[in-house]
Structures are given as C-alpha cells and as structure tokens.
Amino acid sequence: MRMTMSHKILAKHAGISQVRPGDIVTCRPDWAVVHDMFFNVDGQDLYKNAGHLDHPERCIVLLDHAVPAPTTRDAVGAVYARKFCAKHGIRNFIDVGDHAVIHQAMAERGYAAPGRLLVGADSHTCSSGAFNCASRGLGPADMTYVFCTGETWLAAAPTILYLLQGELPKGVTGKDVFLYIAGIYGDATGMNVEFTGPGLASLSIPQRQSISTMCAEINAEFAIFPCDDRLRAYLKARGDEDIDPVEPDADAEYYDIRQINLSDMVPYVAKPDFIPGNCVPVTEMEGIKIDQVVVGSCSNGRLEDFRIVAELLKGKHIAKGVRMIITPASQRIYLQMIKTGIAETLAEAGCVITNATCGCCYGGHMGLLGHGERCLSTTTRNFKGRMGAADSEVMLGSPATAAASALTGVVTDCRKYL
C-alpha cells in the first residue's frame, strides 16, 4: 500500500486503511503529555480552558523545565499543575523527586513504544521516534484540545528516508550523525524523517534518541527508527515484550532516499545561532575559546553520554577558566551516575552536577551565560541568546567533543584523547 512507518501509524490511529502524503487525518493519540511551562502565569491555557478531559488516563503531566522552581512564577505554576491533576484525576503525574526531562520520561517509563502515537507540548517530542513511535510536538491550543477531546488532526507529510551504511568510527556519536545531516542537507520543514539500513546496528538506543530529538531542529514532523533487534532487546530489558512494531511497506513512497556511510563520519560541530546548513567538522572550529561546557538535555543527558565524558576526564581536570555543567535527563540517570562512580569522576574533574532538569538548555537556570560568553554544549538549540545574554554564543557538539574541549578550554577534536 506504499505506506511509510509514520503513515502506517497515522492510519491506525485514524481508523483508516490508507494514508498518503498530503492527507489530513483525525487521530486519537495513545498519549498526550504537557510540562510545567503549561501552568506558569504566562501559559495557563490548559488550566483555565479545560473543563472536562475525555480520557485523563491517556494524559501525562510532568515538571521538568523549572525544577526545582527557580522563581516564584515557576513555583506557582507547579502548584497549578498539581491542582490540575488532582481536579481531573490524572494519575500519570511526574513530580519533583522522581522527575525527568519530558522525553526521557517517555523513554524510561514505557510511554514511548513501537507503533504508538504520542503528542506533546514540546517541540522535541519527536525524540520518542527512536522507539518506533510516531511522536511530535503541538502548540498550546492543540494540546488543550487533545486533553479535552482525546483527538487531534495531523497532516501526513512526505517522507525522507536515510539509508545508513557502515559503522560509526571511534569518537563519533549519534549527535555527530545528526549534525552531519543538518549541515549537508539542511532544513526538512514539512517532511517526515525515517531511518533504515545495516548501519543502525552501530547506533545504540541513546544515540538514536539523540538523533530523533535533534530532528526538531531541521523542522521535521516525525523522526522514526525501525524496531530492530537492538530496540527489541532494550524494550525487553525495560519490561516491554508485548509490542506492536511498525515497518514500512516494501514499496513505500518516499520524497527522497539519502545514503550515508557511517564509517566516513567525523565529529561535527554546529556553529552559533542556527543549525540547518550551519554545521561543520570539528577540525574547522578547533582553537575557538570557550567559557562554558554543558553536557545534558533530552538530546545527550543519558548514562551513556556521561560515561563517555567520564572516560575522557578520569584523572584529569578541566581547563582553568572553563565551567562544565553536567545535567542528567532524569533522576534515575542521576542515581545511576552515583552508583557507577561516574558522578565522582566528573566532580573530581571540576564539573558541576545539577539535578535533572531542562535547566540552561531553554535559558531558564542552572548555568546561564553572561555577556560575550561562549559555550560548547550537547543541548538542543544554539539560537542567539538561547542560554543567557543576547550577545552570548552557543555551539553544539557531542559529549566526547564537549569533554575534550573542557580539558583544553578551546574547541577540540576528541579523537586526540582516544
């Protein structure tokens, strides 16, 4: 029937047999999730306008952006979030203490699973595509509508297929793969992105999460990976064996098919201010002075990321004049960092370890930049002023690139330390 993975999931959740590019369908998502920013004084659409929730058992509310609350405004928003959940009987509420960045919570707690449709109040909701799940962000009005009615409309976009060959070299990660794609192919507005090929075997699930999360930065609608043996093993370890994976039809219709040889990949960096068409090999940026390094966020705040950093920093200390902020994507990851000794290694190297939060990624707290400062970060965005002062700069790279650069105080190719 020529359907891609995303189109099959849309068809299933719309109760129809066929979806083609350009169709607009009304779907009933498996999960709808909002975060604390929906409840502060600047964004109370849901709290004020939701009179009745059609399916509260499919609604998720969590606190992640401003955790713990850095301002009174944020604290008041958290109060409203708790009241909202109590009023409407929402049991899927994730509060401070067992919290996680929204997209990591979807991964850890089993909400993101093969064949599901998930919508969220965050642009990086496409992160769950790493789990063979069609997931995307919606705006406040649409999320309020989903919470109230249990349904939403979605457009079936054309699909770009990335055929991955080869195997990632040492020192190259999923973040580098995305930055390469963004640098070479640029924007994908109005498109779905899907991945296939033997090269997937060298991409861990956290690396796939990094890629699917970052696809928001090329404006992709959905970003979906297939359910292969590696994902099945991950899901089994998570306790999910009753799954409903989706595969594309053999004759699926694609807007474009692009082949990438992972064996040829090198570490990449996104230059400041924007991402599409603005990413280059790290060797073109080497030697640029930095004031701060950040490793964390929904893109690269997982245990695997911090293990990479710890291996590079073990027995060493970050450069004088450089601040290094470590922000795990969940409380559970934070505990794993402590139990495995990773947290101790990072602290001894001069890193500041924060609680799990979106933190400085959205310019909220936990490591903002001052006037004229420059940061190399593994977070999701590098917009001007994104992480603090309007004249500060943010470059994006992998955890390995971040760690190597923290050691030298300038942008550095991590392969020199491997």
pLDDT tens per residue, range 33-74:
999 888 876 656 777 777 889 999 999 999 999 999 999 989
Work out the average pLDDT over 158-180. Answer: 98
At residue 364 the predicted structure's pLDDT band, cuts being 50, 70 and 90, is confident
3-state helix, strand, coil in the chain (%, to 5): 40, 20, 45
Output the six-digit token pair for 350.
């001069």
At residue 271 the predicted structure's pLDDT band, cuts being 50, 70 and 90, is very high
How confident is the model at residue 241, as a pLDDT? 82
Tens of pLDDT, residues 381-398: 999 999 999 999 999 999
Work out the average pLDDT over 136-149. Answer: 94
Whether the ω angle into residue 68 lies within 30 degrees of 0, i.e. cis, is: yes
pLDDT above 70 covers a percentage of the chain that reads 99
Decide: residue 52, CB within 10 A, 0-12 exposed, 13-18 middle, 19+ buried.
exposed
How confident is the model at residue 242, as a pLDDT? 85
pLDDT above 90 covers a percentage of the chain that reads 90
Residues of the chain with CATH 3.30.499.10: 5-243+252-262, 270-417
CA angle 221, 225, 231 (to 5 degrees): 145
Q: Are strands 292-296 and 256-261 parallel, antiparallel or unpaired?
A: unpaired
Short-list 162, 228, 166, CA closest to 193: 162
How confident is the model at residue 51, as a pLDDT? 81
**Interatomic CA distance for residues 161 and 192, integer angstroms:** 8
**Interatomic CA distance for residues 101 and 362, integer angstroms:** 12
**Interatomic CA distance for residues 223 and 409, integer angstroms:** 34
Average pLDDT score, the chain? 95
At residue 162 the predicted structure's pLDDT band, cuts being 50, 70 and 90, is very high
Tens of pLDDT, residues 195-223: 999 999 999 999 999 999 999 999 999 99
- State the helix-helix crossing angle for 303-313 and 205-214, rounded to 10 degrees: 110
How confident is the model at residue 40, as a pLDDT? 79
Output the six-digit token pair for 331.
């409380």
Work out the average pLDDT over 318-347. Answer: 98
Contact status, residue 105 vs residue 330, Cβ threshold 8 Å: yes
CA angle 380, 386, 388 (to 5 degrees): 130
At residue 373 the predicted structure's pLDDT band, cuts being 50, 70 and 90, is very high
Tens of pLDDT, residues 226-243: 999 999 999 999 888 889
Widest CA span in the chain? 61
Contact status, residue 250 vs residue 264, Cβ threshold 8 Å: no
Q: What is the CATH topology of the domain spanning 270-417? A: Aconitase; domain 3 (3.30.499)
- Whether the CA torsion 225, 226, 230, 233 is positive or negative: it is positive
What is 5-243+252-262's CATH number? 3.30.499.10
Tens of pLDDT, residues 79-108: 999 999 999 999 999 999 999 999 999 999
Terminal CA-CA length for the chain = 48
CA angle 260, 297, 363 (to 5 degrees): 120
